[in-house]
A and B are shown apart, each in its own frame.
Chain A
Amino acid sequence: MAKLPTSVPLLVDRFGPHTHTIPPGGWTSAEEPDRTVKTHCCFCGQQCGIQLKVKDNKVVGFEPWQDFPFNLGKLCPKGVKRYLQGDHPDRLLTPLERVQGEGFRRIDWNKALDRTAEAIRRIQQEHGHDAFAVLTGASLTNEKAYLMGKFARVALRTANIDYNGRLCMVSAAAASKKILGYDRAANPWSDIRKSKCILVAGANVAECAPITTEYLWSAREAGAKIIVLDPRMTPIARTVDLYIPVRSGGDIGIFNGMLHVMIERGWIDRDFIAKHTTGFEEVERAVRKYTPEYASKIAGVPASMIVRAAEMWGPAESSFLLHSRGIEHHTKGVENCMAAINLVVATGRIGREGSGYAMITGQGNGQGAREQGQKCDQLPGHRDIENPEHREHMANVWGVLESSIPHKGLSALEIFEAAHARKIRGMILLSFNPMVSLPDQRFIREAIERLEFFAVIDFFLSETARFADIVFPGSLMEEDEGTTTSAEGRVVHHRQVVDPPGEARQDWKIICDLATRLGPKDKFAFASPKEIFDELRQASRGGASDYYGITWEKIDEQKGVFWPCPELDHPGTPRLYEGGRFAHPDGKAHFQAVEWRPAAEEPDEEYPITLTSGRVVAHYLSGNQTRRIGALVKQTPQPYCEMHPRLAEKLSVAEGDFVRVESRRGSTTLRALIVKTIRPDHVFVPYHWPLERSVNNCTIRAIDPVSKIPEFKICAVRVAKAAPPSDDHVKLAPEAGGLR
């Protein structure tokens, strides 16, 4: 059974997180590097170009890469300090097996692989193929993402593979596909600079996509009006033309209200709508009742703000919509995004320079990792796993019978629910840390503890890997080669910078080794990531995200290639939907009428405050990497509870007091940060920390019916001043879950 082998403090003592503060060889080590390698930052979906300095097979520093067109040398603090995840004292250097009551001990590679293969075989024989699940991540390269999908469907023949992109932008993906046809940003980022009106909905750009700030500010200098929707006044919101402090979950009030005003004042493009779209009548009918006054009640902001937003967006000569998790992390995440995209299509301002739309994908390969077939409902090339033609195509690429390919499986959170119900008995996990990142942590822990066998591939012993039977030491991005696809849809090349240390191996080799023990050997006989990419090109050929014409050489020459790129002489497609040609078979955009509905749990008398969660600029995802980098830990050592002075006064809480944030599912105790820059009816807690400091103890296990994204952005809590906590972990370092 997967459970902690010993106490958390003992595990932390041996495996961290500890902070790494000084570069290998000391602060002077980067002065004369052996070489400098052009690659990309791994810490968000923007995939900034960066050069890493290497000395003695260790990354010792960085140099900006000023020629890379997306970021031109710019980096956020995570990019600057990313190199310190290498040569880290916490690094896993050998395979490990759990010894109950003691911890982990070294195990031979072959034994670790054999034990895992044997456990998978036994569980699948006793309980069926689907009883073993594969959990993966959106930080993986395209090659690894493709391989994981093939591993699950060809080697394990389980339907149950899904990934942590399910916690990221799946709502945006579903909405974009429904209305426009493709799941990808419609425009390259360079179009942002040329826009005259930009609507940023639920995107804390300054902290979660910092480089995008410069694109916004460039547009503003050229005369663009910027509108920001967020319950918190984020750093970009402070100086924009219109900041709307929408209540969490009230976004449809703003979008439908804006469209109502735009229709009334004639600020929609009726010609474009007639020629290039379907379904506008239903939308027009749906927004009829969304008068500014009605919409104001849903959005929780003055009606005048909604009118003002319509006045800015409606008659603009060009416009750009950007959104991310703020509107996507909801049980109505897909509907939120559709209501926003309706605003784009109703004006006809898409598919041209300066006009269009982008979701800001969060994870390192948030875009690419969702295209290569590691989602429970998709095959490579954004193919539908239930479509017979799509299945046939993949059966041919893989050389298997179509009937052997599993059908649609469970999504990430549903897999843990199935484990809790003992329907899923075993799991292998790579690049995912659900013991920080999933909602309702107590439930997730119970689910993991019920597994009969649990294997984890990771470079550090994450909070989740602590529960594993077998841990395989995998590779950092700079220890392997491959491609990722940035938020723009630009496929970029990560070069191998150093070799994995100790006995650590590249993740794809571990998977191939395991696959050959379980399935047909010839199907996983890859000699390099480039060979995997070549198969991926064939697999995606003819699909929506067509990579066939992309080669690593072309990526290097062009500094990235945008998909679709169907032929070898095709330059790629930076801008989609030019000339009003959408990606549906009829060539039209399909409007989707949206009606607002409440969240799974709205505040009430017992739990009167809205809790919303999110990120800070110094940390990436569950913090498994960034909570080990000294400079980033120093910048933001621990989580806190942001609240407005009015709420603080009501609760008799002073700055720095301990507060207990409690929902129906659990609680977290942390220090109060009292700021006027948040709605008085909301509190905010960043999510990167584990144990008693995890906001996901409180968040709700409720998902969008279409995208299956959890509702991280709203649940009901009560907040009270608390005594200094005395739990088992409070004395740990903050990066490990302690509190100062």
Chain B
Amino acid sequence: MSELAFFIDYSRCIGCRACVQACEECDTHRGQSMIHLETIERRDTVQTAPQMCMHCEDPVCARVCPADAIKQTPDGVTQSSLKPRCIGCANCVMACPFGVPKYEASIDQMMKCDYCFDRTSIGKKPMCATVCPSQALTFTTREEIERTRRGRPINEWRFGNEVVRTKVFVLVPPATTQVDVGLGDLVQIRAGKKASHVRPVAKDDVAALLEDLP
């Protein structure tokens, strides 16, 4: 039996925000949620996407930190910035390919999901994955995921020429082995144009479903 791991299945997410509310109740950062729930484009779809820290094997946030304030534990958890070291420069915020760290102006420090270190280090599940009603966020073994899910868990991402591997897995259709984010699109977004992959989702348009009506 392999160790417990974190899996995200975006197709299961119902946008209820239980993860966001529960993260705020975690003892190490109570009162402040470290997970984001993104509403993709409410006009077009009800799709939502929870975003926790993906805990990169070689975390870009730590690499770009000039104060060496972001540490990784021996079991691969990238921690929130260390208070005495963090200089609030927000390099990590800009560098993270997943848009996870947030600069908190009130404390002049970066904060982010630390894999519920206080819970996972003593064998408990992270708060968000425990409460998640749809189990879009799941903390379990790889065997259990393979036994109970149709999707394939992957943890390899391509951003242009850079490949990032993460501790957290996402569930994707079985034929997929790597998520290619497509740097070209990202560049286009930065240039202010509409990126080609950000299309209105026609299948979620109820009017389109009714077009066959006589």
CB neighbours of A635 from chain B (8 A) = 17, 21
Cβ-neighbour of B206 out of A76, A79, A680 (below 8 A): A680
B205 x A676 contact (CB < 8 A): yes
The 9 A-B pairs at the shortest CB distance, nearest first, are namely A206-B14, A210-B133, A27-B31, A235-B14, A302-B212, A213-B134, A676-B205, A27-B30, A77-B21
B204 x A233 contact (CB < 8 A): yes
CA distance A153 to B188 in the complex (A): 72
Answer whether residue B130 sits at the interface, using C-beta atoms and an 8 A cutoff.
yes
Which range holds the interface residue count of chain B? 35 or more
CB neighbours of A655 from chain B (8 A) = 43
Question: Which residues from 171 to 228 on chain A have a C-beta closer than 8 Å to any C-beta of chain B?
Answer: 206-207, 210-211, 213-214, 217-218, 221
Answer whether residue A259 sits at the interface, using C-beta atoms and an 8 A cutoff.
no
Looking at A59-67, A282-290, A424-432, the stretch in contact with chain B turns out to be: A59-67
Answer whether residue A562 sits at the interface, using C-beta atoms and an 8 A cutoff.
no
Answer whether residue A133 sits at the interface, using C-beta atoms and an 8 A cutoff.
no
Which range holds the interface residue count of chain A? 35 or more
CB neighbours of A673 from chain B (8 A) = 42
Q: A30-B30, A238-B46, A635-B17 are in contact. Are A677 and B206 (CB under 8 A)?
A: yes
Question: Which residues from 1 to 29 on chain B have a C-beta closer than 8 Å to any C-beta of chain A?
Answer: 11-18, 20-22, 24-25, 27
Q: A22-B31, A677-B46 are in contact. Are A239 and B132 (CB under 8 A)?
A: no
Answer whether residue B72 sits at the interface, using C-beta atoms and an 8 A cutoff.
no
Interface string of A224-263 (1 = CB under 8 A from B): 0000000011111111000101000000000000000000
Extra pairs beyond A80-B21, A235-B46, A243-B209 (16, CB < 8 Å): A27-B31, A30-B25, A31-B27, A74-B131, A75-B18, A206-B16, A207-B16, A210-B18, A214-B133, A214-B135, A232-B206, A235-B13, A676-B43, A677-B205, A679-B207, A680-B210
Answer whether residue A447 sits at the interface, using C-beta atoms and an 8 A cutoff.
no
B211 CB to closest chain A CB (Å) equals 8
Q: A80-B22, A676-B204 are in contact. Are A617 and B148 (CB under 8 A)?
A: no
CB neighbours of A675 from chain B (8 A) = 42-44, 46
If over half of B's interface residues share one DSSP class (helix, strand or loop), that class is named, otherwise mixed; here it is loop
Question: Which residues from 167 to 214 on chain B have a C-beta closer than 8 Å to any C-beta of chain A?
Answer: 200, 204-207, 209-210, 212-214
CA distance A31 to B26 in the complex (A): 10
CB neighbours of A356 from chain B (8 A) = none
Which of B12, B132, B133, B212 lies at the interface centre, i.e. has the most chain A CB atoms within 10 A of its CB? B133
Answer whether residue A73 sits at the interface, using C-beta atoms and an 8 A cutoff.
yes
Q: A207-B16, A239-B11, A635-B17 are in contact. Are A646 and B30 (CB under 8 A)?
A: no
Cβ-neighbour of B132 out of A74, A233, A245, A296 (below 8 A): A74
CB neighbours of B125 from chain A (8 A) = 66, 73
Question: Which residues from 102 to 158 on chain B have a C-beta closer than 8 Å to any C-beta of chain A?
Answer: 125, 127, 130-135, 148-150
Answer whether residue B45 sits at the interface, using C-beta atoms and an 8 A cutoff.
yes
CB neighbours of A206 from chain B (8 A) = 14-16, 134
Cβ-neighbour of B204 out of A27, A28, A30, A238 (below 8 A): A238
